[in-house]
Structure 1
Amino acid sequence: MAPTETLSRKIRWIFIVQGVIASLVVTLGTLYGSLVLRDILLKQRIVDEAQRTWELVDADPQAALPQSNSYARFFVPAGSMPDQVPPILRALPPGFHRTHDGIWRLAYISERAEGTIYLSVAPGLADHIVRWISILAVALSVLGIAIISWLGYRRCRRIVAPVAQLTDTVLAWDPRSPQLTRFDSPAHRGENTYEVAHLGDALASMSRRVEEYVDRERNFTRDASHELRTPVTVVRVAGDLLATENLSPRGERSLRRLRQATDDMEVLIDAFLVLARHPDVPVDSEDVSVQEVMHEEAANAREWLEDKPVNLVVLPTADPKIHAPPRVIGVIVSQLLRNACHFTEAGTVQIEVLADRVEVRDTGIGMDAETLSKAFDPFWRADLSDYTAKGMGLTLAQRLAERFGWKVLLESQPGQGTLATLRFS
């Protein structure tokens, strides 16, 4: 599995994104609010100036109106031409308007029976004040958001720290020698949240169950290697003694079945003992000559052919040496050979030893696509009439091969035979 981000890192990015978004919202909101506030202040200011101007006009209509750098005001009596009024203001109807003659201004036209007043105001100082107040507000808001986000992140990191510690403990945990106290450590409690406390208890309980399972597996492996082999040995010795007697043809057939069943039991015991071990527990291995093993298995497989007109041959194209338990390769090939001999009524069963694989090719009945797809399923049998087959042969062969990093492959066509391959890593 590819490495993923830690929970603390994800939370940090969440707070960073949240802070950035909040800062953008606050900045845009403040800028928009400052523009609205500036317009409100300017409009209120120009309305007050218009009222003051009307008071001056009422007092003396002929008097010159005061002017300034920020204000330009004009009065046009009713019926007179607004020649003294700048062209940009003349055509404007009563009310507020924005104008631009190098700098933007806010214009206000007030109309009464006496005439019309034209006012033009440059934002000037008010604009600068609002701008700097907005910048200050934005800076303080962003700083506040950053501080709050940082404090929130630190708080969340403290809350999830026990989860991170439990994760590290689980990754370092060895089921073969569990240390129960690590999951119950007070350091994992952190903020003493409900979830962390119960997660630690659940992991400690799981650790105890795994330890019990490992002990049972060890005991079974140890006991089975002795107890299961003992009765098989007794049966084999009894069969050898019976072979020295003069048996009837029927008795000889029964003895052959007894020996075959004994061989099958030994193969199953070897396979199950290997599979019962944990993958990290080493098994006794040595350099095995694959060619020698194939000759031994071929000799054993000839008994399965009985009186069939089938020629069993071994092609020693290569002689690779594989470091593995001595019986494992034999067990796998034995299962492949059993199927080849059982489903071949005439022709050839060929074992070819190559540098990186063993191929078992037969001229039997073959398999269609549906049968081939189920060949490795446990307890599935293509020939239901054979009560001696348990449907575990190919399944055991595949599981044993996977245990050592090998592969068992099948290629088959109905009526054209089957090619079974044991490919070494």
Structure 2
Amino acid sequence: MYRHSLRTRVAIAFAVCVAVLSVAWGVAFFAAIRLTEDRVLQHQLQRAAESYPSMPMNLRGYDEIASLPEPLREWAQTNPGEGLYEFEENELHVAVLSTDNEKLATDDEQRLGFVVFDVAGIEASSLEDWWWLLFITGAVGTLATLGFGLGVVVMRKAVAPVAQLAKAVADIDPEQLTAEDHKRIESSRYGDDEVGVLARTIEKTLERISAFVERERYFTSSASHELRTPITVITGAIELLEQSNLSATDTKALDRVKRATLDMKITIEMFLCLARETDDGLYDEQFLVMPLVSKAIDQQRYLLIRKFVNVDIDELAKPSVNGHPQAFSIAVNNLVRNAFEHTLHAQGPITIRIKEHELLVTNQVSSDADNRHTPTEAPSSQGYGLGLGIVQRLCERNGWSFSLLADEQRVVARLSW
């Protein structure tokens, strides 16, 4: 449980990290200054001890250019301005200052004084400077690494609830929710901050998903009986009526009722098949393609009455499919029905070609059958029946592939597995 919001904790973590790094850098620079001071004094005392009892004259003042050390005389004659100068080759530091308090009217030149500090033996050698540079670089790199590590640790601790929630959500399977999943995502474990709000939202979403799955299971378990029973009753009544002596008009009406009942039965089976999440292992059943194709043709043959259209079956192979036989039968019924419905009068034949790994249903949609055009892929639900969109969903559920190729003369429906 956290007392502060996630935003506040991140801000505090960042402030703590910056404060710790600032203190570390401040201590490091202070130590470097003190070390430099001590080092200069130690070198100067060491040089004095080496020349004891006579003391070295590192710091001296000069009024005349002629009394300056030889390396500085030529430079001093150029009348340098007041300031500090350094001569690295000679290890000398020079301060130039004016020594005139009053100017004589006849004196046009300014009198200069020189303070010379001989640092020979006090400043470190070049090799020692390089070692010190290496040491400082290593210290800076170490501090940077420690700072980075500290920042990572602090930020991880600050965002730990988010990572915990993300892991809990990643381990949940929405299709198979359990009581343990609800415990892992329980919002009371995350407090009242932003993470708690997110956890409560996810918890409510999972509850809605669970309720939806439960309703779906209840529907698929009960709707099958409730919807199929009236169809069965109607089918039985039709069969009894067919055995009666009916007039030609009554027979035509009974045929229409029979076809509508068959269509309703197929539609119910199709939607129930799509609604099921699980189907008791029927998705791994092995079945032959040709019997289902023949059955679909027989069921939809009435659509070709008075159209004078033939149906050619080109069985190039006898394939078997691994999957859901009812779903495959529904898909084939939809393809055959659409082909029969959209074929024009006397513009056949309708060709059904069965290959080893695909089924092709081709029908004519124009009277100009002699012209040849290259088929192009068309949306499965554009102008060729709503059932083709359902065929697409059935294929996706079973790992099959469906496509519709159309041009101005013909439509080719392709179902592959």
Fold shared, TM-score > 0.5 on shorter chain: yes
Q: Deviations over 1:231-253 (max 9, x none)?
A: 11112222222323344444333
1:147 positional shift:
5.6
Work out the percentage of aligned pairs sharing the same amino acid.
26
Query: Could you tell me which amino acid in structure 2 is paired with residue 76 of structure 1?
Result: E
- Any conservation in 1 of the 2:63–2:113 contact (CA below 8 Å)? yes
1:30 positional shift:
5.8
Q: Match for residue 404 of structure 1?
A: 398
Tell me the secondary structure at the aligned position of residue 309 of structure 1: coil
Structure 2 CA distance for partners of 1:289 and 1:168, relative to 1, 3 Å? same
1:419 positional shift:
0.9
Structure 2 CA distance for partners of 1:312 and 1:107, relative to 1, 3 Å? same
Equivalent-residue separation in structure 1 for 2:69 and 2:143 (angstroms): 56
Equivalent-residue separation in structure 1 for 2:93 and 2:256 (angstroms): 112
Structure 1, 212-221 or 319-328: larger mean CA deviation: 319-328
Q: TM-score, normalised by structure 1?
A: 0.69
Q: Deviations over 1:341-387 (max 9, x none)?
A: 11211121111111111011112239x99x965442xxx646xxxxx
**Correspondence for 2:184 among 171, 182, 185:** 182
Q: Match for residue 323 of structure 1?
A: 322
Q: Match for residue 420 of structure 1?
A: 413
Q: Deviations over 1:311-340 (max 9, x none)?
A: 101111111111222222121111111121
1:167 positional shift:
2.4
Tell me the secondary structure at the aligned position of residue 178 of structure 2: coil
Equivalent-residue separation in structure 1 for 2:178 and 2:317 (angstroms): 46
Say if 2:73 is the partner of 1:86.
Answer: yes
Structure 2 CA distance for partners of 1:409 and 1:125, relative to 1, 3 Å? farther
Tell me the secondary structure at the aligned position of residue 312 of structure 2: strand
Structure 2 CA distance for partners of 1:103 and 1:361, relative to 1, 3 Å? farther
Say if 2:389 is the partner of 1:395.
Answer: yes
1:193 positional shift:
5.2
- Any conservation in 1 of the 2:351–2:363 contact (CA below 8 Å)? yes
Equivalent-residue separation in structure 2 for 1:72 and 1:206 (angstroms): 86
Tell me the secondary structure at the aligned position of residue 347 of structure 1: coil
Equivalent-residue separation in structure 2 for 1:103 and 1:203 (angstroms): 77
Equivalent-residue separation in structure 1 for 2:56 and 2:307 (angstroms): 124
1:281 positional shift:
7.2
Say if 2:159 is the partner of 1:160.
Answer: yes
Equivalent-residue separation in structure 1 for 2:111 and 2:257 (angstroms): 130
1:124 positional shift:
6.3
- Any conservation in 2 of the 1:313–1:349 contact (CA below 8 Å)? yes
Query: Could you tell me which amino acid in structure 2 is paired with residue 75 of structure 1?
Result: D
Structure 2 CA distance for partners of 1:235 and 1:92, relative to 1, 3 Å? farther
Equivalent-residue separation in structure 1 for 2:193 and 2:246 (angstroms): 76
Tell me the secondary structure at the aligned position of residue 94 of structure 2: strand
Tell me the secondary structure at the aligned position of residue 410 of structure 1: strand
What does 1:3-402 correspond to in 2, within 5 Å?
A: 70-71=58-59, 73-76=61-64, 85-91=72-78, 93-96=80-83, 98-100=85-87, 102=89, 105-113=92-100, 115-121=111-117, 150-151=149-150, 153-175=152-174, 176-179=176-179, 180-184=182-186, 188-189=189-190, 192=191, 194-278=193-277, 282-283=281-282, 285-345=284-344, 346-365=347-366, 373-376=378-381, 381=383, 391-402=385-396
- Any conservation in 1 of the 2:324–2:398 contact (CA below 8 Å)? no
1:155 positional shift:
4.1
- Any conservation in 2 of the 1:291–1:318 contact (CA below 8 Å)? no
- Any conservation in 1 of the 2:91–2:120 contact (CA below 8 Å)? no
1:165 positional shift:
2.6
Equivalent-residue separation in structure 2 for 1:339 and 1:304 (angstroms): 10
Query: Could you tell me which amino acid in structure 1 is paired with residue 292 of structure 2?
Result: V
Query: Could you tell me which amino acid in structure 2 is paired with residue 394 of structure 1?
Result: L
- Any conservation in 2 of the 1:297–1:333 contact (CA below 8 Å)? yes
Q: TM-score, normalised by structure 2?
A: 0.70
Q: Match for residue 48 of structure 2?
A: none
Structure 2 CA distance for partners of 1:239 and 1:135, relative to 1, 3 Å? same
Structure 2 CA distance for partners of 1:193 and 1:102, relative to 1, 3 Å? farther
- Any conservation in 1 of the 2:61–2:115 contact (CA below 8 Å)? yes
Equivalent-residue separation in structure 2 for 1:352 and 1:317 (angstroms): 7
Equivalent-residue separation in structure 2 for 1:220 and 1:272 (angstroms): 11
Equivalent-residue separation in structure 1 for 2:158 and 2:314 (angstroms): 67
Unpaired segments of 5 or more residues in structure 1? Answer: 1-10, 42-66, 383-390
